[in-house]
Structure 1
Amino acid sequence: MTETFSTEIPAGQPALKVIGLKVYYHISQGIVKAVDDIDFTVGCGEFVGLSGESGCGKTTTAMTLLQILPKEGVVEGGQAIVGNTDILTLGKKDMEAFRWKGISMVFQGAMNSLNPVHRVIDQMVDAILIHEDMSKKEAREIALELIESVGIEKSRARAYPHELSGGMKQRLMIALSLVLHPPLVIADEPTTALDVMIQAQILDLFNQLREKTSLSLLIITHDLSVLAETCDKVIIMYAGKIVEEAPVQILFNEPAHPYTRKLIASFPSILADKEIEFIPGNPPDLIDPPIGCNFHPRCDYAIDKCRTEDPPLVDEGGHRVACFRRHEI
C-alpha cells in the first residue's frame, strides 16, 4: 500500500502541533465536552507534561491523537499535525500504518498489555513485521537491540511476561513503543503501580532515550512529581480546557492560575513542613458546565466577570494562563 503521509519532521517544526481540538462524547444523557478547543505543541526532543484531575480531558486527548476513541467520542474540530500530516484526517488504513511510525503510545496499565502466552521477543518482532518489509531475522536483531537499549539483558528476550518484574515489563512496553522510531511517543501514567525506586529508573530511562534518539514525549499523569522531574514544560487542564502552560520551573515556582496553585498545594513536599491543602467542591458536569470560567465555583478569587465570561488563554512570554485575575493573585 502506498502511504499518503510523511512521518518526517521538517527542520524547525514541532513534533506535534494541536490546533483548536474539540472532542465530545455523545451519550444518552447529552453531549460531554471532554476536550474543548485546546492548542499546544511538543517540540522536537521536548518532554511535555499534560496534567489535571481525573476527567479533565488529558487521556481523551491522547486517544484522539491515535484515533482510538470509543464510538461515543467524536472529533468536532481541530487539527493534530505530526510533520506535515494532520493525523485527524487520515483514513483507517493510513492511520493503522501511521501508528507506531509517526506516533506511538505507552498505555496506562501497560504492564498488563503484553500477551501472556507469547515470548516478549516474538511480540516485538510481530509488531515490526506488520509495518516493515524485512526478514524475521532482521526484525529480531532490531528487537534485541531495543531490548538492550532499555536496560534489559538480551538473555531475557525469550521470557514470558509473567517471568518478568513490573519494572522490566514497563521497560519492554517503552521499547515496544520505539520499534519503528516514531518522532513522538505518548506515555499515559507511565509510572503507575511501580514502587518509588522503579519509578525513578523509568524516568531516568526516558531521559537516556532522549539523549540517544532526540525522543519527543507527551507525558500524561496526575502525579506532579513526575512532571517536575522529567518535563521541559507542563500543561494543566481543567474540565476540558487548558488553564495554564509554562516551562516546568516557572509553573511550579510561579503558578498563575488559581487551579494550578491549588493542585500544587495538594501535593506533599519534602522540602518544607506544610499542611496539605485540598480543592473544595467537585469538577463541573461537562454536559452542563457553568457559565463563565469552569473553575469559578471552586475558586477563592472569582469575581462577577468570572461567572459570566470564559477567560481566554493569554500567552505572555511563553507562559499561557486563562484567568482574568492572573496579575493580581
Structure 2
Amino acid sequence: MTDLNDTCGVSATASQLRCGFAALVGRPNVGKSTLLNTLLGRKVTIVSRKPQTTRHRILGIHTLTGAQIVYVDTPGLHRQENTAMNRCLNRTATTVLAEADVAVFLVDALRWTQEDEFVLERLTPFANPVILALNKIDRLRAKQALLPLIDRLSGRRDFAAVVPVSASRGINLAALEAEIVQQLPNSVAYFPQEQITDRSERFMAAELIRERLLKTLGQELPYASTVAIEAFEQEGRLRRIAAVIWIERRGQKPIVIGHKGQRLKQIGRQAREEMEALFGAVVYLQLWVKVREGWSDDERALGLLGYAEP
C-alpha cells in the first residue's frame, strides 16, 4: 500500500480509504459519550449519570486499516428549550447533523421515551444514512425482547443498519464500526493517524473539573454550573492550571466549597488525579468559586464562557 500523504501517515490511497464524519445522536444520558470513549479506548469526553453532561461538539478520531471515522459526540437532543443553555445545546447537536456523512442514532434497548421520539423526528430531514444502535443489551435477559422495538422503529425510518451494542462493555462495537465504514465516502484522511481528538488539554482540564462537580455534588447543585480555565501553563511535564467554577446563585457557593473548604479540595484533588493520568504529567491545580447570576439563560454570558460554537 502507498502512503496517502506525508502529513497524515495513513497507509492507504484516496481511492482505497473511506473517511467521513459519524454523528452520535440521541436523547440525553443514553450513552453517547461512553460509546465514544470505548470505541477510542481513551477518554476524550466526560461522562456522568446526569443529563446535559456533554455540552460541546467533541471529535473522536478512529483510524483503522483503510478507514478513518471521525466521530462527533453531541449534546443530547431534548424537547425543553426554556433556557438559553437548552437552546444552545440543541443548536450544537442540530448543526453537527447538518454536516455528518452518517448518523448513529443511539437508543436505550430497555426503554423508549418521548425524548427518543423527539430525536427520531429531528432525524426526519437528515438525508444521509442513519444507523440504529440499540444500547445496553448486556442488561437484557432475553435478546428476543429487542424484536418488537426493532420492528416498530424500522417502520418509522429506513435505517441503513440496526446494531445491538453495549457501550460500557464494548459488545458488538466492531460490527457497528463496520456498518459505519460502509456508509463513508472515499476520501483522503482528515487527520493524522496518531490524533485522537480535536480538543486541547486546556479544554479537557475544564471538562474534568466539571465532571467531578457532577459526580461529587449529586443532586445538591443544579446544572447551572460551569468551569472556565483562567491560566494554563506548560513546563515540560508540569501543568500549572488555574480554573474558576461559575455558579448562578450565592447560596450555591457553600454547597460547592463545603465545610472548611473540604468539598472543593476533594473536587480539585480528584480532577487533578484524572488530569495527571490523561496528560501523563504532573498537575498543579488552583480552583476558585465565583457567582455570575443567571449565566445559563444569558446568550452573551454563554458566548463568553465558551458555548458559542459554530
TM-score by length of 2: 0.31
TM-score by length of 1: 0.30
